[in-house]
Chains A and B, each alone.
Chain A
Amino acid sequence: MAAAGSVKVALQVVEVLETIVSRCVGPEGRQVLCTKPTGEVMLSRDGGRLLGALHIEHPIARIVLRCVSSHLKKTGDGAKTFIIFLCHLLRGLHAISEKEKNSLISDNFQTHERHWKNCCQWKCISQALLMFQTQILDCIMDQYLSRHFLSIFSSSAKERTLCRSSLELLLEAYFCGRVGRNNHRFISQLMCDYFFKCMTCTSETEVFELVDDCFIELNVGVTGLPVSDSRIIDGLLLHRDFSIYCPVDGDIRMVIVTEIIQPLFSTSGSEFILSSEAQFQTSQFWIMERTKAIMKHLHSQNVKLLLSSVKQPDLVIYYAGLSGISVVECLSSEEVSLIQRIIGISPFVLPEASSWYEISNTALVKFCKPFILRSKRYVHLGLISTCTFIPHCIVLCGPVQGLVEQHESALHGAFKMLRQLFKDLDLNYVIQASDQNDTSSPLIHKYSRESSQLPEISNHSIQRPYQDIVVKNGDELEKTQAYLKVYSNLVISSRGLETHIPCSTLKLTPTNTFQIDDTLKCLSPEKNRIIDDYELELLVDNNLTGNPTTENTRIEISYENLQVTKIDRTGSKLPVRYKSLDLCTSQSYHSSSVPAGSVLPVGGNFEILLHYYLLNYAKTCQPSEEAMVSTLIANALLGIPKILFKAKKVNYSFPQMYLRTLHALQTNQLMVSSQEGLESVIGKYQLLTSVLQCLTKILTIDLVINIKRQPQKIYDQDSEDEL
Chain B
Amino acid sequence: MSRLEAKKPSLCKSEPLTSDTVRATLSVLKGVLTSCYGPSGRLKQLHNGLGGYVCTTSQSSALLSNLSVTHPALKILTTSVQNHVSCFSDCGLFTAILCCNLIENAQKTDLTPTTVIKLNKHLLSLCTNYLKSEACGCRIPVDFSSTQILLCLVRSILRSKPACMLIRKEVDHISALILRAFLLTIPENTEDHIILGKSIIVPLKGQKVTDSTVLPGILIEMSEVQLMRMLPIKKSSALKVALFCTSLSGDFSDTGEGTLVVSYRMSLENAALDQLLNLGRQLISDHVDLVLCQKVIHPSLKQFLSIHHVIAIDRVGVALMEPLSKVTGTQPIGSIGSISPSSYGIVKELCTAKFGSKHFFHLIPNEATICSLLLCNRNDTAWDELKLTCQTALHVLQLTIKEPWALLGGGCTETHLAAFIRYKARNEPESILTDDGCTQAELQLVAEAFCSALLSLAGSLEHDGGEIVTDIKYGHFWSIQGDCPSVVNWPDLLSRCGCGLYSSQEELSWSFLRSSCHPFAPQSCLPHETVGPDSNLTLDCLTAKLSGLQVAVETANLILDLSYVIEDKN
Contacts and interface: CB of A to CB of B under 8 A. Distances in A.
A387 interface: no
Nearest to A58: B9
B81 to A, nearest CB: 8
B6 interface: yes
B87 A224 contact: yes
Interface string A9-38: 000000000001001100011111111110
Interface string A387-409: 00000000000111111000000
A267 B256 contact: yes
A41 interface: yes
Interface in A436-490: none
B299 to A, nearest CB: 20
Contacts of B117: 180-182
Contacts of B566: 32-35, 50, 53-54
B527 interface: no
A288 B337 contact: yes
A710 interface: yes
A707 interface: no
A267 B258 contact: yes
A53 B568 CA distance: 7
A318 interface: yes
B41 interface: no
B7 A55 contact: yes
A535 to B, nearest CB: 39
Given A180-B558, A273-B263, A319 B255 contact: no
Nearest to A31: B561
Interface in A265-318: 265-277, 280-281, 284-285, 288, 313-318
A200 interface: no
B482 interface: no
B570 A55 contact: yes
B547 interface: yes
A274 B262 CA distance: 5
B45 interface: no
Contacts of A274: 260-263, 266, 268
A3 to B, nearest CB: 17
Contact of B12 (A20, A275, A401, A720): A20
B80 interface: yes
B343 interface: yes
Interface string B264-276: 0011101100110
B118 A181 contact: yes
A23 B563 contact: yes
A277 B554 contact: no
A267 B259 CA distance: 8
Interface residues of B, number: 75
Given A268-B258, A322-B342, A314 B564 contact: no
B155 interface: no
A268 B256 contact: yes
B71 to A, nearest CB: 10
B438 to A, nearest CB: 12
Interface stretch (B226-234, B327-335, B347-355): B327-335
B557 interface: yes
A271 B258 contact: yes
Contacts of A710: 2, 4
Interface in B320-348: 331-335, 337-338, 340, 342-343
Contact of B258 (A35, A272, A403): A272
Interface string A194-231: 00000000000000000000000000000111111000
A400 B565 contact: no
A277 B274 contact: yes
Interface stretch (A151-159, A598-606, A665-673, A711-719): A711-719
Contact of B84 (A224, A270, A273, A322): A224
B255 A226 contact: no
Given A226-B551, A318-B335, A35 B72 contact: yes
B79 interface: yes
Contact of B564 (A23, A224, A244, A273): A23
Contacts of B257: 264, 266-269
Nearest to B99: A399
Contacts of B274: 277, 281
A317 B551 contact: no
Contact of A225 (B16, B87, B261): B87
A266 B80 contact: no
Given A35-B72, A54-B566, A181-B117, A319 B259 contact: no
Given A180-B557, A224-B83, A322 B547 contact: no
A193 B130 CA distance: 27
Nearest to B246: A314
A131 interface: no
Nearest to A716: B5
A630 interface: no
A43 interface: yes
Contacts, number: 232
A56 interface: yes
B251 to A, nearest CB: 12
A55 B2 contact: no
A401 B550 contact: no
Given A31-B558, A267-B256, A277-B266, A54 B275 contact: no
Contacts of A509: none
A224 to B, nearest CB: 3
Contacts of A55: 6-10, 568, 570
Interface in A210-267: 223-228, 244, 260, 262, 264-267
Nearest to A403: B558
Given A266-B259, A400-B79, A713-B2, A288 B335 contact: yes
Contacts of B263: 273-276
A288 B557 contact: no
Contacts of A714: 2-3, 5
Q: Which of A41, A182, A274 has the most CB of B within 10 A?
A: A182
Contacts of A266: 255-260
B431 interface: no
B256 A264 contact: yes
A35 B335 contact: no
Contacts of A54: 9-10, 12, 566
Contacts of A35: 72, 75, 565-568
B508 interface: no
B76 A43 contact: yes
Contact of A181 (B6, B76, B261, B561): B561
Contacts of A227: 554
A37 B568 contact: yes
B562 interface: yes
Interface string B78-96: 0110011111100000000
A632 to B, nearest CB: 30
A28 B114 contact: yes
A41 B17 CA distance: 16
Contacts of A711: 2, 4-5
Contacts of B473: none
A595 interface: no
Contacts of A223: 83, 87
A57 B83 CA distance: 36
A374 interface: yes
Q: Which 3 A-B pairs have the closest CB atoms?
A: A266-B258, A264-B256, A314-B334
Given A30-B562, A318-B343, A321-B343, 8 more contacts: A20-B564, A181-B118, A224-B87, A264-B254, A266-B256, A274-B262, A284-B275, A717-B3
24 contacts: A20-B564, A28-B114, A29-B563, A30-B561, A43-B558, A54-B566, A267-B257, A271-B258, A272-B256, A272-B259, A272-B260, A275-B263, A280-B268, A281-B274, A281-B275, A315-B246, A316-B334, A321-B343, A374-B86, A400-B79, A400-B83, A403-B558, A712-B2, A717-B3
Interface of A: 20, 23-24, 28-37, 39, 41, 43, 50, 53-57, 180-182, 223-228, 244, 260, 262, 264-277, 280-281, 284-285, 288, 313-319, 321-322, 374-375, 398-403, 710-714, 717, 720
